[in-house]
Amino acid sequence: MPEFIGGEIEMLRYLKTNTKYPEIEKKLGNQGTVWVSFVVGKDGKIKNTKIERGVSKYLDAEALRVINAMPDWIPGKQ
C-alpha cells in the first residue's frame, strides 16, 4: 500500500496547511467535503486525479490543486 511520507498524520497536516479556501466560496457560504481519487505511481508521483464527489467548481479545483501538488509518496510494493 502506498504511504505518504510521515504517515496519515503528516498527510492531514499537509492538506490543512496547503488548502486555500476560495474567497468566492467563503462569501457564498459554500462548504463541504470534496472526494478525490488518485493513483500513486511506481515513482511515488500522484497521477490520475479525479473528483469522485464534488461540491462546487472552485472547491473542486482547489482540492485537485492540493492533491496534484503533494510531495512524492512511498510507492506500494507487490
Structural contact between residues 47 and 6, judged by C-beta atoms closer than 8 angstroms: no
Within 8 A by CB and 6+ apart from 71, the residues are 5, 14
- Give tens-digit pLDDT for 8-66: 999 999 999 999 999 999 999 999 999 999 999 999 999 999 999 999 999 999 999 99
Model's pTM, two decimal places? 0.91
